[in-house]
């Protein structure tokens, strides 16, 4: 789909703002795809996306971790629902969060160690960016959304993506809101039948934002060191808004896998009741899949249940988290029956999430093939808030960069090995990651393709 010679955006800017100095730094865009959408015009493969998928309160000992390692691994009862994806995932067992004497802040220390590589020193603390943010810095800059955060329970506190303790990345809370964000104002249909005409108003919007940016020096000079960092974060964020506007000046190239869905119902109820979370999660996952196929973002973070897992069944006086602590262990079965049922619910949702990505064909395979999705929890055995052996998985082949279908077992290696592996797979030039006992320079090389 071509409509004459492409005019560079810089030319447009000069032409339309009467030579007024416009100091917007326009990024190089990577949305030049070939006509069938299988690869970029210059032959590079389709974008590889990174995402995380979180569930709370871990697993039940003896019912989750495969007994066999390697490719012939088994699926114990709590992983039963993963059967359709056995060849598409890697399961990591025996990796530990090493807190080095820092307190085990319940439902926080383990999750934050996995995601930031550093054990928090106090409750709710975060001392380093989460790895999704680091990866977004590497690959998220050219797409419309640097990353998309999604909280299936509809609570904006349920997000584990943050550059610093100062601000958590704001999640989408319901399917209708997510639809608006992706397919509402500012969305450009890559497969549009009509001729592309950039809205000249956008140039003026960029020009106005440059006025805001020009205040940077003056404002920074008034601030103390801490506040300068905060102001700097503001201006970094503002660049993303400029990026979104700039993209609207580009004619998008067609994308085979991209289609625009119908809008989901408005005002769907949200909350932690099992059926409600499952429905909202499914609808949001479907929209996310299309957002990825339409190359609106390359990084996402889905929270199915919060780390304290408020998941509960209608009519129950307790929920998943309370059951893990309060339910009497069944003497014959040897585990907490109600609590364990919630682990299965979480894994069914994880399986469904992967099925949704797999259902979208892309290039010669599926969308999932071009993703690296990191699924993990906050504890292993939630009853005692254990941070040793917290369940972690990856799904998808990252565009052929990794092998899948393996159960990797170590004996107490730091969890950061997995985080480092994923950063390297996603192209981040980093040779070691994590702090103190969790600092590592050893990726899980077995999965490298």
Partner 1 sequence: MGAKTMTTRASRILVGLVVGSVLLVSGCDDEPVVTGGPLSMRKLTEAQYRQSIADIFGEDILVVGRFESETRTDGLLAVGSSRASVTEAGIEQFYAMANSIASQVVDEDHRDDALSCPATDDACARAFFARTGRLIFRRTLSADELEQWVVRSTEAAETTNDFHDGIATALSGMLVSPEFLFRIDTAESDPDAVGETRLSGYSIASRLSFFLWNTTPDDELLTAAETGQLHSDDGLALQADRLLASPRLERGMRAFFRDFLGMEAFEHLQKDKLVYPAFNQAVTEAAEEQILRLVMHHLVASDGDYRDLFTTRDTFMNRPLGMVYAVPVRSPDGWEAFSFPEDDPRVGLLSHVGFTALHSHRGRSSATLRGIAIRELLMCQPVQPPPAAVDFTVVQDTDNPNLKTARERLTAHRTEPVCKGCHQFYDPIGLSLENFDGAGMYRSQENGAAIDISGDIDGTTFANIAELGAALREHPAITSCLVESVIKYAAGRESSVEEQGWVDGNVESFSANGHRLKPLLRDIVASDAFYAVATETASTNAKLDIQDTETNE
208 binds partner 1 (CB under 8 A): yes
Min dist. Cβ of residue 28 to partner 1 (A): 19
Pick between residue 73 and residue 179 the one whose CB is nearest to partner 1.
Answer: 179
Min dist. Cβ of residue 238 to partner 1 (A): 6
Among 9, 385, 397, 417, binds partner 1 (CB under 8 A): 385
Min dist. Cβ of residue 204 to partner 1 (A): 4
432 binds partner 1 (CB under 8 A): no
**DSSP letter for each residue of 403-431:** --SEEEEEEEEETHHHHHHHHHHTT---S
115 binds partner 1 (CB under 8 A): no
Number of other residues whose CB lies within 10 A of the CB of residue 438:
24
Q: Are 257 and 293 in contact (CB under 8 A)?
A: yes
Q: Are 395 and 381 in contact (CB under 8 A)?
A: no
Q: Which helix (H) or strand (E) holds 176?
A: helix 175-183
Among 217, 328, 364, 411, binds partner 1 (CB under 8 A): 328
Pick between residue 1 and residue 212 the one whose CB is nearest to partner 1.
Answer: 212
312 binds partner 1 (CB under 8 A): yes
Pick between residue 52 and residue 440 the one whose CB is nearest to partner 1.
Answer: 52
388 binds partner 1 (CB under 8 A): no
16 binds partner 1 (CB under 8 A): yes
Go through 51-90 and write b for each residue having 16 or more CB atoms within 10 A of its CB, e for each that does not: bbbbbbbbbbbebbbbeebeeebebbebbebbeebbebbb
Among 63, 204, 278, 428, binds partner 1 (CB under 8 A): 204
Count Cα neighbours of 372 within 13 Å in the Cβ-side half-sphere. Answer: 26
325 binds partner 1 (CB under 8 A): yes
- Rounded CA separation 112/206 (Å): 37
Among 12, 14, 17, 188, binds partner 1 (CB under 8 A): 17
Burial of 167 (0-12, 13-18, 19+ CB in 10 A): exposed
445 binds partner 1 (CB under 8 A): no
Per-residue binder mask for partner 1 (CB under 8 A), 88-107, x = binder? ---------------xxxx-
Among 318, 341, 355, 435, binds partner 1 (CB under 8 A): 318
319 binds partner 1 (CB under 8 A): yes
Q: Are 117 and 433 in contact (CB under 8 A)?
A: yes
Looking at 59-67, 75-83, 217-225, 345-353, which segment touches partner 1 (CB under 8 A)? 217-225
28 binds partner 1 (CB under 8 A): no
Give residues with Cβ within 8 angstroms of 265, minimum separation 6. Answer: 175, 176
197 binds partner 1 (CB under 8 A): no
Count of residues interacting with partner 1 (CB under 8 A): 83
Min dist. Cβ of residue 420 to partner 1 (A): 24
113 binds partner 1 (CB under 8 A): no
- Rounded CA separation 273/350 (Å): 17
- Rounded CA separation 381/299 (Å): 29
268 binds partner 1 (CB under 8 A): no
34 binds partner 1 (CB under 8 A): no
- Residue 325: helix, strand or coil by DSSP? helix
Q: Cα Rg for the chain, rounded, in angstroms? A: 23
- Chain centroid to CA 415: how far? 18
Q: Are 390 and 377 in contact (CB under 8 A)?
A: yes
Pick between residue 74 and residue 199 the one whose CB is nearest to partner 1.
Answer: 199
11 binds partner 1 (CB under 8 A): no
CA quadruple 185, 186, 187, 189: dihedral positive or negative?
Answer: positive
Min dist. Cβ of residue 443 to partner 1 (A): 28
Which residues ranging from 221 to 260 are in contact with partner 1 (CB under 8 A)? Answer: 222-224, 226-227, 229-231, 233-238, 240-241, 244
Which residues ranging from 132 to 191 are in contact with partner 1 (CB under 8 A)? Answer: 145-147, 149, 155-157, 159, 162-170, 173, 177, 185
Burial of 238 (0-12, 13-18, 19+ CB in 10 A): middle
Min dist. Cβ of residue 123 to partner 1 (A): 5
């Amino acid at each position: 789909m071509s409509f004459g010679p492409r005019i560079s955006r810089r030319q447009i800017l000069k032409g339309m703002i009467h030579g007024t100095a416009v100091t917007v730094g326009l990024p190089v865009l990577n949305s030049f795809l070939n006509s069938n959408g299988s690869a970029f015009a210059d032959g590079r493969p389709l974008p590889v996306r990174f995402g995380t998928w979180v569930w709370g309160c871990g697993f039940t000992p003896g019912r989750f971790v495969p007994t066999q390692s390697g490719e012939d691994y088994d699926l114990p009862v709590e992983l039963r629902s993963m059967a359709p994806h056995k060849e598409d995932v890697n399961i990591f067992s025996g990796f530990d969060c090493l807190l080095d004497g820092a307190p085990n802040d319940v439902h926080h220390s383990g999750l934050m160690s996995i995601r930031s590589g550093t054990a928090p020193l106090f409750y709710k603390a975060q001392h380093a960016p989460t790895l999704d943010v680091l990866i977004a810095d590497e690959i998220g800059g050219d797409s419309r959304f640097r990353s998309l955060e999604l909280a299936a329970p509809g609570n904006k506190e349920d997000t584990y993506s943050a550059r610093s303790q100062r601000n958590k990345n704001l999640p989408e809370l319901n399917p209708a809101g997510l639809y608006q964000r992706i397919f509402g104002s500012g969305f450009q249909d890559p497969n549009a039948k009509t001729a592309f005409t950039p809205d000249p108003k956008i140039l003026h919007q960029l020009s106005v934002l440059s006025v805001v940016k020009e205040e940077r020096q003056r404002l920074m000079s008034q601030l103390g060191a801490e506040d300068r960092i905060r102001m700097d974060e503001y201006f970094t964020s503002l660049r993303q808004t400029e990026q979104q506007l700039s993209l609207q000046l580009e004619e998008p190239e067609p994308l085979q896998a991209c289609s625009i869905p119908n809008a989901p119902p408005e005002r769907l109820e949200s909350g932690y009741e099992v059926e409600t979370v499952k429905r909202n999660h499914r609808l949001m996952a479907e929209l996310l899949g299309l957002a990825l196929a339409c190359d609106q973002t390359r990084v996402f973070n889905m929270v199915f249940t919060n780390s304290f897992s408020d998941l509960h069944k209608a009519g129950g006086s307790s929920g998943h988290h309370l059951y893990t602590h309060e339910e009497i262990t069944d003497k014959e079965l040897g585990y907490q029956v109600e609590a364990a049922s919630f682990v299965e619910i979480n894994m069914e949702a994880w399986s469904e999430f992967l099925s949704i990505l797999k259902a979208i064909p892309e290039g010669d395979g599926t969308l999932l093939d071009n993703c690296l999705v990191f699924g993990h929890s906050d504890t292993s055995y939630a009853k005692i808030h254990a941070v040793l052996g917290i369940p972690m998985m990856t799904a998808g082949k990252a565009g052929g960069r990794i092998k899948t279908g393996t159960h990797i077992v170590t004996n107490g290696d730091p969890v950061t090995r997995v985080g480092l592996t994923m950063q390297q797979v996603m192209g981040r030039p980093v040779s070691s990651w994590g702090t103190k006992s969790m600092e590592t320079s050893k990726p899980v090389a077995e999965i490298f393709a």
